[in-house]
Amino acid sequence: MSFSAWLSTHYEEQGPVKWLAFFLEVIAALTLLLLMLLTCTDVLGRYLFDNSLDAASELTEICIAIIVFAEMPIITWRGGHVVVDILDRFIGKKVIKVLAVFSIFVMSSSLYYVAHRMFFMAERSLRRGEESEYLAIPMGHIVQYIAIMSWITAGSVITYGLYILLFPRTTPPPADLSDTLPKLKEAK
C-alpha cells in the first residue's frame, strides 16, 4: 500500500486539511513518544541512580503544551468536542441553527482574542529574554506556538461551523429497541 493510499484510508479530510491533520498528528505523536521516554528515563534515574532529570518537569510542561495545541485544530475540524444536545428535540431546527451560529461566533472570537493576547505576551517575553529555568529555552517561542495554533483552531471553528450549517448531516433515526429485547428472550 502506498503512503498516499494509506493516508486516504485513515484521514477523511480532503485537500490540504488532510496533510495539515497528518502533520499535526505526527508532531503530537513524536512529542508523546518523547514524553514517554523522558518519563521512563526520569523514573529509572530516580529509582536506580538516586538522581532524576533536573529539567523533567520543565520538558513535561512544554511537551504537554505542544501535544494539546497540535491536536486542537484537528479535534475542532472533526467535530470531536463534547456536545450536549438534550434540548434539541424540544427546540426547532431554526433555533438550533441560530444557536450554532452564535456558538461558532463565540468560540472563534474567544480563540482569536486569546491568541492575540498570547502572541502579545510572547513578543514581550522574547523582548525581555525570559527563559526556562533549567534548559534556558526562550519561553516566548512556546507561547507563540500556542498563539498560532489557537488562531488555526479559530479558523477551524469557523470552517467547521460553516460546513455543518451548509451541509447538515443526515443521520437515520435511532432504531426502536423496545420490541427487540422480548424477541431475544424468546429466542433463548
pLDDT of residue 181: 52
Is the distance from CB of 77 to CB of 160 less than 8 angstroms?
yes
pLDDT of residue 188: 56
Using CA atoms, how far residue 43 sits from 47, 60, 62, 63, in Å, is 6, 13, 18, 17
Is the distance from CB of 64 to CB of 146 less than 8 angstroms?
no
Query: Which grid cell is 185?
Result: 428472550
- Region label for 140, one of left (φ > 0), alpha (ψ between -120 and 50) or beta (otherwise): alpha
Using CA atoms, how far residue 99 sits from 1, 9, 91, 95, 104, in Å, is 44, 34, 11, 6, 8
pLDDT of residue 70: 92
Render 84-95 in DSSP notation, one character per residue. --TTTTTS-HHH
pLDDT of residue 161: 79
**8 CB neighbour count, 10 Å cutoff:** 13
Of 66, 58, 61, the closest CA to residue 136 belongs to 58
Q: Give the span between the Cα atoms of 26 and 179, in whole angstroms.
A: 47
Is the distance from CB of 67 to CB of 32 less than 8 angstroms?
yes
Per-residue pLDDT 10s for the chain (188 aa) are: 788 788 777 777 777 777 888 889 999 999 999 999 999 998 888 888 888 888 888 899 999 999 999 999 888 887 777 777 787 888 888 888 888 888 888 888 999 999 999 999 999 999 999 998 888 889 999 999 999 999 999 988 888 877 777 777 665 545 555 555 555 555 55
Q: Give the span between the Cα atoms of 76 and 96, in whole angstroms.
A: 19
Q: Which stretch of DSSP H or E encloses residue 63? A: helix 56-78
Q: How far out from the chain centre does Cα 12 lie?
A: 16
The pTM for the full model equals 0.75
